[in-house]
Amino acid sequence: MMKVWNVWLVFCTFLLCMLGTFLTRSGVVSSVHAFAQSNIGPWFVAFMGITLAVCLGAYLKNRDYLASENQLDSVISRESSFLFNNLLFLVACVAVLSGTLFPVFSEWFTGNRISVGAPYFNRVNIPIGLLILFLTGVGPLLAWRKTSRESLKRNFGWPVLIGLLAGGVAFALGFRAYYSLASLILCVFVAATILLEFYRGSRVIRARSGASFAACAIDLTMRNTRRYGGYIIHMGMVFVFLGLAGTAFNRDVQKSMQVGDSMQIGPYTLVLQATDSKPEKNYTAQRMMVEVLRGNHPMMMLFPEKRNFLTNKENGTMVAIYSTLKEDLYVVFAGIDPDTQQPVIHAYLNPLVKWIWFGGVTVVFGTLIALLPNRRSVLVLAPAQQPSTVEPVPHGVVASPILREGHD
Amino acid sequence: MASSPPPFCEKAMTRNRALRRTLVLLGMATLPLIVPVGAQQFSDRAKKIGFQLKCMCGSCSMTAAGCSHPGGEFSGPCPTAKGMLQEADQHVAKGETDEQIVQAFAQEFGTTVYAEPPKSGFSLVAWAMPTVYLVLGALVVIFVISRWVKKNASETTASAVAAPPIAPELLERARKLAERATED
């Protein structure tokens, strides 16, 4: 199904990679990666033309093999969710592409180059990202070809309720950033659908084997690694979105401090205890010794520093980081206040950052699981045990085989 | 009875204290030499406006308030962006509104200073495009799916007419089997 569509997605992905490289390298859009004054542009265009011709040729040559039967019983089916998922990814891709090229278009049409920066891309892609997250939860629970109303109720009733409940609690606790709130509700919804899937499958195995839930969940995963590996990948994406939802609550404080001064950021108090200079082989580091207290309890010392590289006379900034599952605290020695000649400490408190990393690791883990072959039940032949009381079988008669369940 | 610390330990502590004091003094004295680019604090409003303006250093496409490109200071904007924030603060001091300040920058640098296209004139196209893509794409997907559903329905009807009817008990048995299989 959808073979032509898939093949063209592959072709377009490669072509767009080339286009992206061309746009940044040729200087069509401003980029730090642009080659200075080079004639690489025409070469890139020619290469992209050849690539497009090869793609078209490959498609036309194999058109008959790519013909497939596309049939659906209902709009609410897993195939439809695939198509909508593809649509959302494509819209995100084309929105970024047209936003990137908008300065060029605006110059053509109006004579003025209107720049498009990160705030535009964030504003456009956050709703698309949330819709993709929604489909992450919905898609895998829809049946192939057609999903009945009963199945929808059974699969989504609890997850929707739990998601809304989590949203209600967060709202009551003062969570007002609406994109983050929507992200939280969807994260809980998707996580609930995934956990429910594991629970249902494990329960069936447990009823037969009597093993623990954890053992049954592992057994379930190993029986269909692509499906349950996929769920683990989805869970990883939930963690990533959870981390991204935290960005709405990022905060930072900058203060000119002398030794003994303190500043407050969130629950942390930062006290500048001392400064020192640390000469190294190729640079000299100016180091701040910042004590971190929570409440009145000392937690740790952080050492943000600035390095002055002697040869090229450039400064490097070394950020001191305290990272937990709840939040990341970055402490930076920002420089010297020209008015007071005192060091300036810049502190950032970014919630849930670690979840983004954890999500990435989970996605990799899920991918590895999905790559494993399924553990399938197979029938193997094993000789029957000879009962000790039974007389020996006469010579020439073979023990009758019985069927046993095993695994390949 | 509290014993006094041995002379060696006392000497070591005194030496440590002296060393620390020297280090602190040395550190404070060398600070201006080591960090030639001074850090500066800007008002919250200047920072807020800075997020609507592009850093005009020419080598990055970050906002003036969020500029952290290589060569700049990680913790804050590069010198160009700093100048812009300082200018924003001067406008703030004059009592201008956010919009007036952004317009002042647009007059100074041209339309390239906008971090995101303004919601007026030709720039509206940039804002409308993603919605247009989504609506058009959704219409195409819905059209394709409904065509597949119709095609399937007509083929099912045709095959139902051609094929002999299935016995109800057989159908029931098959349904039960399918239910059991999908439950697993």
Most A-contacting residue of B35, B89, B151 (CB-CB within 10 A), to test interface: B35
In a domain, B138, yes or no: yes
In a domain, B56, yes or no: yes
In a domain, B149, yes or no: yes
Identify the pLDDT of residue B31. Answer: 46
- pLDDT digits 0-9 by tens, B165-182: 777 888 888 887 777 665
In a domain, B96, yes or no: yes
- pLDDT digits 0-9 by tens, A311-343: 887 778 889 999 999 999 999 888 887 777 888
- The pTM of the whole model exceeds 0.80: no
Query: How far apart are the CA of B133 and the nearest CA of chain A, in angstroms?
Result: 6
**pLDDT surpasses 50 at B32:** no
- pLDDT digits 0-9 by tens, A87-101: 999 999 999 999 989
**pLDDT surpasses 50 at B4:** no
Identify the domain boundary among B64, B99, B116.
B116
Q: pLDDT-derived band of residue A17, with 50, 70 and 90 as boundaries?
A: very high
> From the centroid of its chain, how far is CA A68?
32
DSSP labels for A259-287?
A: TT-EEEETTEEEEEEEEEEEE-SSEEEEE
In a domain, B48, yes or no: yes
Question: Are B93 and B134 members of one domain?
Answer: no
- Give the separation between CA B116 and CA B82, rounded to whole angstroms: 19
A118 to chain B: which residues are within 8 Å by CB?
61-63, 66, 115
**pLDDT surpasses 70 at B73:** no
Q: pLDDT-derived band of residue A387, with 50, 70 and 90 as boundaries?
A: low
**pLDDT surpasses 90 at B137:** yes
Q: pLDDT-derived band of residue A75, with 50, 70 and 90 as boundaries?
A: confident
- Summarize the confidence of residues A229-246 as an average pLDDT: 94
Name the token pair of A395. 């010579």
In a domain, B11, yes or no: no
- Picking from A302, A310, A306, A303, the residue whose alpha carbon sits closest to that of residue A285 is A306
- Summarize the confidence of residues B25-33 as an average pLDDT: 48
In a domain, B6, yes or no: no
Identify the domain boundary among B67, B98, B116.
B116
A262 touches B: beta carbon within 8 Å: no
- Give the separation between CA B35 and CA A307, rounded to whole angstroms: 8
In a domain, B3, yes or no: no
**Most confident residue range from A235-239, A374-378, B29-33, B147-151:** A235-239
Question: Are B109 and B51 members of one domain?
Answer: yes
Say if residues A48 and A19 touch (Cβ distance below 8 Å): yes
**pLDDT surpasses 90 at A277:** no
Q: What residues make up the domain containing B171?
A: 124-183
Please determine, for the modelled complex, whether the ipTM score is greater than 0.90.
Answer: no
- pLDDT digits 0-9 by tens, A142-173: 877 777 778 778 888 889 999 999 999 999 98
- Give the separation between CA A380 and CA A403, rounded to whole angstroms: 6
**Most confident residue range from A27-31, A82-86, A263-267, B144-148:** A263-267
Q: Is A115's CB within 8 Å of B144's CB?
A: no
Domain locations along chain A? 250-353
The sign of the dihedral angle between the CA atoms of B108, B113, B114, B118 is positive
- Summarize the confidence of residues B28-43 as an average pLDDT: 52
Question: Are B128 and B171 members of one domain?
Answer: yes
Chain B CA closest to residue A331: B75
Q: pLDDT-derived band of residue A386, with 50, 70 and 90 as boundaries?
A: low
- Summarize the confidence of residues A186-195 as an average pLDDT: 94
* Length of chain A (residues): 408
3-state secondary structure of B124: helix
- The structural domain count of chain B equals 2
